[in-house]
Chains A and B, each alone.
Chain A
Amino acid sequence: DIQMTQSPSSLSASLGDRVTITCRPSEVVSNYLNWYQQKPGKAPKLLIFRTSSLEGGVPSRFSASGSGTEFTLTISGLQPEDFATYFCQQNYELPHTFGQGTKLEFK
């Protein structure tokens, strides 16, 4: 299985900040890398698919990039509703695997 390692595991930030989360797959996943936001007790919400494509309805303050074995999710201008946990996921090969999550907390 492809192991997905996210860093940091937690992050404190303030409204308006720009934050970056990194995801490192244990193997090359081409551009088959997706990002999700999850709030407590809720289902994950797809933010980004295929490394950098913004899912419909997701604000443009979310962006992502990467290749090979290093990918990043950036949130520019944090809003109150952005404080949540973020996961990366690869769909390069089965089984699909997820990162352990990055919890974004209010400073």
Chain B
Amino acid sequence: QVQLQESGPGLVRPSETLSLTCTVSGGSVSAFYWSWLRQPPGKGLEWIGYIYHSGSSNYSPSLKSRLTMSIDTPKNQFSMTLTSVTAADTALYFCARNPKGAYDFWGPGMLVTVSS
């Protein structure tokens, strides 16, 4: 069974950089697409972007200027960094696998709050 786990700081100050890592177990990141999504409190889901094991990636146009994703196949992890965060970036951040366009395995989610 594939399992994903997000990790990173739960509190980030405005204008600083948010960095999250997703560790995958029970499967390899050397296959499929790996994504980040987020859900602001009480709101719907937003796709952030994905990365492929080759390192190719695609980002949400609304976040593209601030977003970078990377993948570390030996560690079986993938990561995201979002720069210049504001309160609007406060959300529950999920990592997920999407082998067929649908997201079949998800991490439990990590709440990131942007506040001074």
- Mark A residues whose CB is within 8 Å of B: 1, 32, 34, 36, 41-46, 49-50, 55, 87, 89, 91, 94-101
Specify which chain A residues have a CB less than 8 angstroms from the CB of B104 in the assembled complex. Answer: 46, 49, 55
Please tell me if B115 contacts chain A, counting CB pairs below 8 Å.
no
Please measure, in the bound complex, the distance between the C-alpha atom of A102 and the C-alpha atom of B108, giving whole angstroms.
21
Contact count A vs B, C-beta below 8 Å:
55
Residue from B45, B60, B62, B96 in contact with A87 in the complex, judged by beta carbons closer than 8 Å:
B45
Most A CB contacts (10 A, CB to CB) among B94, B100, B101, B102 go to B102
Decide: B101 and A96 in contact? CB cutoff 8 A.
Answer: yes
Decide: A42 and B44 in contact? CB cutoff 8 A.
Answer: no
Decide: B45 and A94 in contact? CB cutoff 8 A.
Answer: no
Interface string of B28-59 (1 = CB under 8 A from A): 00000000000000001111000000000010
- Tell me the count of chain B residues lying within 8 A, CB to CB, of chain A: 20
Decide: B45 and A43 in contact? CB cutoff 8 A.
Answer: no
Specify which chain B residues have a CB less than 8 angstroms from the CB of A42 in the assembled complex. Answer: 108-109
Please measure, in the bound complex, the distance between the C-alpha atom of A50 and the C-alpha atom of B100, giving whole angstroms.
9
Decide: A43 and B107 in contact? CB cutoff 8 A.
Answer: yes
Q: Could you write out 16 A-B pairs with CB less than 8 Å apart?
A: A41-B109, A42-B109, A43-B96, A43-B106, A43-B107, A49-B102, A49-B104, A50-B100, A50-B102, A87-B44, A89-B102, A89-B103, A94-B58, A96-B101, A97-B47, A98-B47
Please measure, in the bound complex, the distance between the C-alpha atom of A32 and the C-alpha atom of B104, giving whole angstroms.
14
Besides A36-B103, A99-B44, 19 new A-B residue pairs in contact (Cβ under 8 A), listed by A number: A1-B61, A34-B102, A42-B109, A43-B109, A44-B103, A46-B103, A46-B104, A49-B102, A49-B104, A87-B44, A87-B45, A89-B102, A91-B98, A91-B101, A95-B47, A96-B101, A98-B45, A98-B46, A98-B47
